[in-house]
């Protein structure tokens, strides 16, 4: 089966390219499942119920989140009621949301999805290593295809998580830095790995925000509004092929859709 994992969807530009590209990508690549990290989908930080529905309508089958998960409180009700959206599993147990999700792919297979937060250069959280073990212990044994979004800042942490979970999940794919890394590989025991799949949003920016505003605040120390930028919008993600009998990955490749790809993706399928 073929899974597309889309990196941090940033604001309206990110949502719009998801909406325009995903149906065509599903067709063009024969995707069985689309998963996206949506922690920045609402104005660059957090997620709202209407944006959640917008992403699902666009063809996103499961949603992961990150350190900005609770920026918009409206999302609590979705985190409590919907079964295809997860909170980072190493947040406090009292926090709102589910630690893992089971979603049915287009080929009929069930896939487990969960996400974890890194500890290095991030706000303090519980151990992602223990949380990963706990989630893997809870998942039904017959669900062999398992996808992990490791939302972390440090590449060393990301590489460690890949090695820690190698052979136990189909893929460990990173998010949070908003910059795609060129290190995609299949680890020795069959786990697809990439430090960060990159951002889905405006690349003429500082990780999605207006360059002038971030620069002014950095140089002067004075606050500005870090509005979401608008130019050079790209959808960054990674496609993983998984042998659903074993849950091991067979191939991994990076995907970057630019605005110039949209006419092709939006044209009606050839007969
Ligand atoms: Fe992010
Ligand atoms: Fe983040």
Kindly report, residue by residue over 150-168, the tens digit of the pLDDT.
999 999 999 999 999 999 9
Confidence of residue 71 (pLDDT cuts 50, 70, 90): very high
**Average pLDDT estimate for 218-228:** 97
Confidence of residue 131 (pLDDT cuts 50, 70, 90): very high
**Average pLDDT estimate for 108-127:** 97
Q: Provide the percentage of residues in the chain whose pLDDT is more than 70.
A: 99
Provide the pLDDT for residue 193: 99
Predicted confidence (pLDDT) per residue in 169-192, tens digit: 999 999 999 999 999 999 999 999
**Cα 267 to ligand 2 centre (Å):** 33
**Which ligand has the shortest distance to the CA of 209?**
1
**Cα 66 to ligand 1 centre (Å):** 7
Whether pLDDT at 137 is above 80: yes
**Which ligand has the shortest distance to the CA of 69?**
2
**Which ligand has the shortest distance to the CA of 198?**
1
**Cα 115 to ligand 1 centre (Å):** 13
pTM recorded for the entire structure: 0.98
**Cα 267 to ligand 1 centre (Å):** 30
Closest CA to 192 of 242, 135, 142, 236: 242
DSSP the chain: -EEEEE--B-HHHHHHHHHHHHHHHHHHHT-SEEEEE-TTTTTTS---HHHHHHHHHHT--EEE--TTTTSSGGGHHHHHH-SSBB-BTTS-TTSSSBS-EEEE-TTS-EEEEEEEE--TTS-----HHHHHHHHHHHS-TT--EEEEEEE-S-HHHHHHHHHHHBTTBSEEEEESS-S--S--EE-TTS-EEES----BEESSSBTTB-HHHHHHHHHH-------B--SSEEEEEEEEEEETTTTEEEEEEEEEEEGGGHHHHHSPPP-
Provide the pLDDT for residue 270: 65
Q: Which residues are near ligand 2, the ion (C-beta closer than 5 Å)?
A: 66-67, 176
Confidence of residue 271 (pLDDT cuts 50, 70, 90): low
Active-site amino acid positions:
68
**Total Cβ atoms within 10 A of residue 59:** 18
Q: Which residues are near ligand 1, the ion (C-beta closer than 5 Å)?
A: 8, 40
> 181: exposed, middle or buried (C-beta count within 10 Å: 0-12, 13-18, 19+)?
middle
CA separation for the pair 28, 255 (Å, rounded):
12
**Average pLDDT estimate for 133-142:** 98
**Which ligand has the shortest distance to the CA of 67?**
2
Whether the CB-CB separation of 32 and 106 falls below 8 Å is answered with yes
CA separation for the pair 71, 173 (Å, rounded):
23
Provide the pLDDT for residue 160: 98
CA separation for the pair 10, 20 (Å, rounded):
15
Predicted confidence (pLDDT) per residue in 59-69, tens digit: 999 999 999 99
Find the angle CA(157)-CA(137)-CA(76) to the nearest 5 degrees.
75
Provide the pLDDT for residue 268: 77
**Cα 269 to ligand 1 centre (Å):** 33
**Which ligand has the shortest distance to the CA of 122?**
2
Rounded to the nearest integer, the mean pLDDT of the chain is: 97
**Cα 104 to ligand 1 centre (Å):** 26
**Cα 42 to ligand 2 centre (Å):** 13
**Cα 33 to ligand 1 centre (Å):** 21
Whether the CB-CB separation of 158 and 195 falls below 8 Å is answered with yes
Predicted confidence (pLDDT) per residue in 185-217, tens digit: 999 999 999 999 999 999 999 999 999 999 999
Predicted confidence (pLDDT) per residue in 85-117, tens digit: 999 999 999 999 999 999 999 999 999 999 999
Whether pLDDT at 124 is above 80: yes
């Amino acid at each position: 089966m073929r899974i597309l994992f889309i990196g941090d969807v940033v604001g309206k530009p990110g949502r719009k390219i998801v909406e325009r590209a995903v149906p065509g990508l599903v067709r063009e690549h024969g995707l069985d499942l689309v998963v996206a990290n949506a922690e920045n989908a609402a104005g660059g930080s957090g997620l709202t119920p209407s944006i959640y529905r917008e992403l699902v309508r666009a063809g996103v089958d499961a949603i992961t989140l990150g350190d900005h998960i609770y920026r918009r409180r409206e999302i609590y009700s979705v985190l409590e009621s919907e079964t295809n959206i997860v909170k980072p599993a190493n947040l406090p147990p009292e926090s709102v949301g589910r630690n893992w999700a089971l979603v049915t792919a287009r080929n009929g297979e069930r896939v487990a999805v969960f996400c974890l937060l890194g500890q290095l250069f991030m706000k303090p959280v519980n151990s992602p290593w223990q949380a990963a073990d706990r989630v893997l212990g809870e998942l039904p044994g017959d669900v062999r295809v398992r996808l992990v979004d490791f939302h972390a800042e440090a590449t060393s942490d990301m590489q460690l998580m890949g090695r820690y979970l190698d052979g136990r999940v189909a893929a460990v794919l990173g998010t949070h830095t908003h910059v795609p890394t060129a290190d995609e590989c299949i680890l020795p025991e069959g786990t697809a790995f990439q430090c960060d799949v990159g951002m889905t949003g405006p690349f003429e920016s500082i990780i999605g925000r207006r360059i002038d505003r971030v620069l002014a605040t950095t140089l002067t120390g004075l606050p500005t509004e870090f509005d979401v930028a608008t130019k050079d919008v790209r959808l960054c993600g990674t496609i993983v092929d998984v042998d659903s009998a074993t849950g091991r990955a067979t191939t991994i490749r990076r995907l970057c859709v630019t605005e110039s790809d949209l006419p092709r993706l939006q044209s009606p399928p050839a007969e």
